[in-house]
Structure 1
Amino acid sequence: MNPELHNQLANSFENKFIFFILLLIIIFQIIFGFLILYSSEEIGSNYLKRSGFFAIVIGFLAIFILGITNLNLPGQQEKVIYGCTNEAAINYNLSATIDDGSCKYNSKN
């Protein structure tokens, strides 16, 4: 297997794993926030009610941010384009993501 492809697959797996762990933590935070919010009504503490409400809001905000920043979900992976990635070369390819060793340079006499 191509080492570059192996690294991309490993990074993709790590990113997905971290994403789902963070998502689980945030979901538990939201559930905990609802528990605080509804149990605090019996106690009558305004502080606990505010804490539960803010835990819920922050949890939903964190899910929104995770959804925006996680770019390595299946189907959204970066395309691999081989070509010359050296800007000093005459055949520089702006779209290339992996240098394939095809760069050509002007030879000055």
Structure 2
Amino acid sequence: MKIPKKVNRFCRKCKKHTEHTVSVAKKRDRSALKKGSLQRRRLRGLERGAGNKGKSSRGALSSWKMYGKKGSKKGDFRYKCETCNKMSVQRKGFRAKKFEIVAKE
């Protein structure tokens, strides 16, 4: 799906409609220092002993019943205000297989 590079939107900081540049956020690695991190739990010995190992004891994702059902992802768009340079995130995404940011002609 083609999305324009510049869009007029309401800026919450400027309190008026201004031109925004659109960008798609990239996927990043999860932090190893977070509370739910498996790497951290194993190092601290929280996975030690008998019994249920919680969320880390589940099998591989490909063995799950509903794994990989959706054919598309929601795009994570970031809008940057041209006047105040404040970045805002979209409230509600929509599904598409591919997003392409295009300059207006």
Where on the TM-score scale, by shorter chain, does this alignment land: which range?
Answer: under 0.3
By percentage of residues, which structure has more strand? 2
By percentage of residues, which structure has more helix? 1
Task: Please tell me whether Structure 1 or Structure 2 has the larger radius of gyration of its CA atoms.
Answer: 1
Between 1 and 2, higher relative CO (CA 8 Å, sep ≥ 6) is seen in 2
Q: TM-score, normalised by structure 2?
A: 0.28
